[in-house]
Amino acid sequence: MSTEPELGRVLVVDDQVERAEKLISVLSPSPFQFDTAEEVPDLEGALGRESPWDCVLCHVGLSHVSWASVRRAMRKFDVQVPVIVLAEDRDVDSMATALGLGATDFFVRPTERPGLLERSIERGVNHRRLQRALEASKQRLERTNTELRHSLRVLEHDQQAGRQVQMALLPAGPLRHGDYWFSHKIVPSLYLSGDFTDYFNVGENEIAFFLADVSGHGSSSAFATVLLKNLFARKRSDFLRRDDHAVTSPKDMLELANRELLELEINKYATMVVGVLNFETHHLTYSVAGHLPHPVLLDENGVCYLEGEGPPVGLIEHAEYTEHTTELPESFVLALLSDGILELLGNGSLIEKEALLLERVAGPLDSPRVLADRLGLGDVDPNHLPDDVAALFITRGFN
């Protein structure tokens, strides 16, 4: 269904009614709607932003009009409507008046050249419509920006609340068993982190732990860490209530995590290190699921990476994982780190960064706080982090 184009609305200001009517008659038929007025007491209403007219034709020969006063009045507001000044004679005073009014055009005896005047009116109408369109676009943009700022504030509040929830899911503090200590540090690059760690007692002689690095950033990655936390909490409960020993098997836990992430269908995967430390035998059993860097062991003999390999969880069905067992020395620091730590080591290849990481960790056995400082985590600014950083420290033989 077609619609007629909107008519341009033109105001003809002339205190000689017959002259105004003659002008309109020579311009008809034309795509304009004409209104007439002998004078315009409200200049801002006629020429300002809220004017209903698209163009004003004003005769310079108006009686009882002080053009100087008109010019002063027009300086007090933003003139939006094009003004075309008409005159009966060509003289300097008339042209000066037109220029003083900021006229867009000037015509002498306009009824003799109606075609030129009509084209000038058309230009003025188009200009006014463009102004209105730009103003409407500006208002829409301002409304959109206001709504966007509001949405960002709501999102920021939600992210802050989510961060508080996620931080509450982390271990409440260091965990001690005999001369073993477990502690951690999480530095998110955003409010929410895709890195997560947990450790807890299993039975009388074991502590289970894991460190996970979920792909991506933000809310969806944080949701995946909640799923992993819930999985380990459930299996810990099953161990206590149902004699289900899956939580004491890193291999089994990785297979469960792989299945649950795939079933969640959020297109997220996670690299993980899962382990169980036996305080009675001093053995560490662990499995690695695509995680880099590998666990770093520092003892009196030096520093090295623990071996291990396997696919990340949440990528492929029926993924298989292997367990490794090592006897722990009497004094050591074991550091599990997310790959965000490698981003803090500057440029270079992965091999170069892994070598530099060992150099940073190497040194005397000391507390996790000192080791975190060696790694550059002591006073790192989260706002300048390219990736989340998580660290889990296990120590023995010193405080």
Q: What is the pLDDT of residues 208-226, one digit of tens each?
A: 999 999 887 767 788 888 8
Query: Quick one: pLDDT at residue 384?
Result: 60
CATH 3.60.40.10 occupies which residues in the chain?
Answer: 170-396
| Residues 64-109: tens digit of each pLDDT | 888 888 888 888 888 899 999 999 888 888 788 888 888 889 999 9
Count the neighbouring beta carbons within 10 Å of the beta carbon of residue 10: 24
Query: Quick one: pLDDT at residue 1?
Result: 40
Q: Of 319 and 345, which is predicted with more confidence?
A: 319
Nearest to 281 by CA among 390, 192, 215, 206: 206
* Mean model confidence pLDDT for the chain: 87
Contacts with 159 (C-beta within 8 Å, 6 or more apart), sequence order = 190, 191, 192, 219
| Residues 152-179: tens digit of each pLDDT | 787 777 666 666 666 667 788 899 988 8
Query: Quick one: pLDDT at residue 216?
Result: 75
Query: Quick one: pLDDT at residue 5?
Result: 45
* Both tokens assigned to 267: 């297109």
Query: Quick one: pLDDT at residue 93?
Result: 80
Predicted confidence (pLDDT) at residue 343 exceeds the cutoff of 90: no
Nearest to 48 by CA among 9, 10, 81: 81
Rounded CA separation 249/271 (Å): 17
* CATH number given to 170-396: 3.60.40.10
Query: Quick one: pLDDT at residue 2?
Result: 40
Q: Of 189 and 300, which is predicted with more confidence?
A: 300
| Cis preceding linkage at 41, omega within 30 | no
Q: Which CATH superfamily is domain 8-138 in?
A: Response regulator (3.40.50.2300)
**31-41 mean pLDDT:** 89
| Residues 2-24: tens digit of each pLDDT | 444 467 899 999 999 999 999 99
Question: pLDDT exceeding 70 applies to what percent of the chain?
Answer: 91
Predicted confidence (pLDDT) at residue 205 exceeds the cutoff of 70: yes
Rounded CA separation 2/166 (Å): 58
Rounded CA separation 319/165 (Å): 31
Q: Of 164 and 144, which is predicted with more confidence?
A: 144
Q: Give per-residue burial for 76-105: e unless 16+ CB within 10 Å, then b.
A: eeebbbbbbbbbeeeeeebbebbeebebbb
Query: Quick one: pLDDT at residue 285?
Result: 97
Query: Quick one: pLDDT at residue 4?
Result: 40
| Residues 305-328: tens digit of each pLDDT | 999 999 999 999 999 999 999 999
Predicted confidence (pLDDT) at residue 355 exceeds the cutoff of 80: yes
Predicted confidence (pLDDT) at residue 192 exceeds the cutoff of 70: no
Rounded CA separation 269/255 (Å): 13
CATH 3.40.50.2300 occupies which residues in the chain?
Answer: 8-138
Query: Quick one: pLDDT at residue 385?
Result: 62
Predicted confidence (pLDDT) at residue 61 exceeds the cutoff of 90: no
CA 120, distance to chain mean position in Å, is 48
| Residues 232-278: tens digit of each pLDDT | 999 999 998 988 999 999 999 999 999 999 998 888 899 999 999 99
Listing DSSP states for 289-315 in one string gives ES-SSPPEEEETTEEEEPP---PPBTS
Nearest to 307 by CA among 327, 330, 331, 323: 323
Predicted confidence (pLDDT) at residue 399 exceeds the cutoff of 60: no
